[in-house]
Amino acid sequence: MIDIPSVVIATIQANAAQGVSRGKHDTDTLERAYVQHCTTIHWRTGTLLLFTRDVTPSGTHLLHLGISFRPKRPEIPPDVIGNVHTALRLGATLPMVPFEPYVAGCWARLLYGDDSIGRVWQAPAVTQGTRLAGQPATFWLPCNAEWEPRTVLDPAFEAQVRAMKWIPWGETQFAGQIADADPGRE
């Protein structure tokens, strides 16, 4: 696993807890502000993260995680994160760099937790070989209305994500890479 201080994980999770996205950030000013607030860069690993609470039109509650990569800044301490939108307004350039599946999988495991990672779903584009260098990996964790991860998956939700070709965590490239690198954790 990558070494990320717990304060970084707690901050990212706390940012997500301050609102909800309903997929209207293009037209809703408050939702756009929430999504921007939840877009973080961890400079040392070069990981750009979007971690939000989403509610679908059908009312399904999801913890959403989008991950892509930018140039690493190893000179910055591991407990320092930045807001991407602020960095861009201040003139930072954040070019896309090749995707790092192992690091992405570690972030997913750290943010969702060991007890919940097995119930995470991944968008299909990541495993079909069509993803561009900076295109994010997207993950969803189904939750109840109190934002606690579901222990039993709603059959309608499972049918919906399977129809969209989403992949359960155990079948992703991320799960296998973490298991290979850290066999005691998978």
Q: What is the pLDDT of residue 182?
A: 58
Tell me the residue type at 133: A
Q: pLDDT by residue for the chain (186 residues), tens digit each?
A: 788 999 999 999 999 999 999 988 888 899 999 999 999 999 999 999 999 999 998 899 999 999 999 999 999 999 999 999 888 888 888 898 888 888 998 999 999 998 898 899 988 764 444 445 556 789 999 999 999 999 888 888 888 888 988 888 888 877 777 666 554 444
| pLDDT for the residue numbered 172 | 82
In this predicted structure, what is the pLDDT of residue 120? 92
Per-residue pLDDT, 125: 61
| Tokens 């399977």 found at | 162
pLDDT of residue 127: 47
Burial label for 129, CB within 10 Å (0-12, 13-18, 19+), is exposed
* CA atoms of 186 and 179, how far apart (whole Å): 5
Query: What is the pLDDT, as a whole number, of residue 47?
Result: 95
Task: Write down the pTM of the prediction.
Answer: 0.89
**What SS3 class is residue 112?**
helix
Residue 22, pLDDT score: 94
Lay out the sheet containing 61-69: strands in order across. Answer: 81-83, 39-42, 47-55, 61-69, 137-143, 121-122, 167-168
- Rounded distance between C-alpha atoms, residue 154 and residue 141, angstroms: 12
